[in-house]
Amino acid sequence: MLVQIRKWTVTEGNADKILERFKKKPDQGPSLIEQREGFIGRELLVKNVRRGEEEVVMIVRWESEEAWKAWEKSPEHIAGHKKKIKEHGGKPPQPEFVIAMEHGSYTVVE
């Protein structure tokens, strides 16, 4: 199993903007990623406000690294990123409220 962890540090009061982007929308059914073969699940976590900052952590679980790579290379995933870049004048979007973003992929060993 492959686990991906992404952590956003944002200015106080802006965690909801990150959450809204990734939250399930019940009226729309399963998202594209949820329909992908090999996708296991996703959790969103929020850390209490500290020093005027909030943290949002997203944990995504895949059956394998190959399943994740297939999602990364899928037309749906690429189209979603291209749309966001186009909406932001040809640059990857980096909202001003995001202080830092970290990510990593981990293989589950036990």
pLDDT in the model for residue 93: 63
What is the pTM assigned to this prediction?
0.82
How far is Cα 81 from Cα 32, in angstroms, rounded to an integer?
13
Predicted confidence band of residue 41 (pLDDT cuts 50, 70, 90):
very high
* Residue found by looking up tokens 């962890």 in the block: 5
pLDDT, the chain, mean: 88
* Number of domains present in the structure of the chain: 1
Mean pLDDT of 27-37: 88
Domain that holds residue 96: 2-107
Q: What is the CATH number of the domain that holds 35?
A: 3.30.70.100
| Alpha-carbon dihedral sign for residues 81, 87, 88, 90 | positive
Of 29-43, 50-64, 79-93, which gets the smallest average pLDDT?
A: 79-93
